[in-house]
Amino acid sequence: MKKVFLSLTLVVALCIAYAQPRIEFDNKTHDFGTIREEGGKVTARFVFKNTGDSALVLTKVKPGCGCTAADYTRGEVAPGQTGFIDATYDPWGRPNQFNKNIKVFTNEPNQTAPHIIFIKGNVIPRPPTKYELAGYKTGRGEVRFLENSKRFDLTNSQTRIDTFTIKSFYENGRNTPISVELPNHITEVYRSFGKELKAGEEGVIVFKYDPSVRNDWGNLKDKITIITNDTLEPRKFLYFNVNIYEDFSRLSANDLAKAPIVSYDKTLLELDTIAKNTTSTGVFKITNDGKTPLIIRKIESSLPSLSYQVSKMTIEPKETIELNVSFKSQNRSGKTTCSLDVITNAPNQPKQVLKVESFIR
């Protein structure tokens, strides 16, 4: 009797072991052939069948890049039944040949790597617009800026003058009133036209950026709002991407000899391996080896999930403080590297990048 029971148990176990889902695609590659850039999105349907003997589930369908999107059968696909994956490609702004993949993960117990399906084709470039022919490749509507952003480094004792070129593509005498909304550290110093930009006219607006009024440090992004009567995009935005740092060139030799000197016990903090949706903490130590107070101007985190806490922002000579960091893993996985930018008034190291690494299992 015992042998019979063991035999039945073994048979049941073998049946369970061999009851597995199995995915088979009708075709793993779809060629769209030649399509036009302005023709809109195209979609290919990949049909698969569960050739196994237990329910199949697609656990994840991951497009290889942001230009593809996938819809797919959700829920269980019974043995012998079929499902689908729709792969959509947007050719706008992506002329010439393409070959993209989509990774498919299932509940197949023996799956060691994702199944991969492919879409490919050739995109015929669209004809250039009248705006592009004139060099205006950004923005929308009939009133456009040649470029909408400037990027530069600046000390806190300098100012910056920048010019933006604007053009009206309106015809038949339709003029465009131009008004500007500015933060207090940016001023308009010149424009080549009056209150209105005439139909078909190209002009310039010049702005002055003053970091002493901005009174901040590090990497900053400032926005200028341009208000027009453009029917498609009446409010347009110009951006200054600025890195403001302290000007130590004005310090005398005596000032430099007495200046604060910053040092860090480390610049890389390796946190313990943690699970998803948990928190790990660590400490950096900051020391003032100089003769006058060390002022922490600003601390910037590269990720919202990396936070920090410091007991004081002014460190006396020969004093050491702790910079406590906290990293929330959220739903990430694998190795994650983030950082804190510490900006101080120390001439020897006014900006230090402190890296934080964690492995999320």
Q: How confident is the model at residue 12 (pLDDT cuts 50, 70, 90)?
A: very low
Angle at 45 between CA 39 and CA 51, to 5 degrees: 170
Sign of CA dihedral 140, 141, 147, 152: negative
Q: What is the mean pLDDT of residues 86-110?
A: 94
Q: How confident is the model at residue 359 (pLDDT cuts 50, 70, 90)?
A: confident
pLDDT at 17: 52
User: Which pLDDT belongs to residue 276?
Assistant: 79
Q: What is the helix (H) or strand (E) element at residue 11, kind and residue range?
A: helix 2-18
Tell me the pLDDT band of 19, cut-offs 50, 70 and 90: confident
Mean pLDDT of the chain: 92
pTM, two decimals, is 0.71
CA dihedral over 294, 297, 302, 307, signed as positive or negative? positive
At residue 331, the pLDDT reads 74
Distances (CA, A) of 101 to 64, 112, 239, 286, 348: 5, 18, 36, 47, 49
What domains are defined for the chain? 21-124 (2.60.40.10), 131-245 (2.60.40.10), 253-360 (2.60.40.10)
**Cβ atoms < 10 Å from Cβ of 297:** 19
Alpha-carbon distance values, 74 to 56, 77, 234 (Å):
10, 8, 42
61, 104 contact by CB (below 8 A): yes
pLDDT digit string, tens, across residues 184-238: 999 999 999 999 999 999 999 999 999 999 999 999 999 999 999 999 999 999 9
- Residue 13 pLDDT exceeds 80: no
Write the DSSP assignment of 34-57 as a string of letters: EEEGGG--EEEEEEEEE-SSS-B-
Q: Any idea which of 32-36, 135-139, 287-291 has the lowest mean pLDDT?
A: 135-139
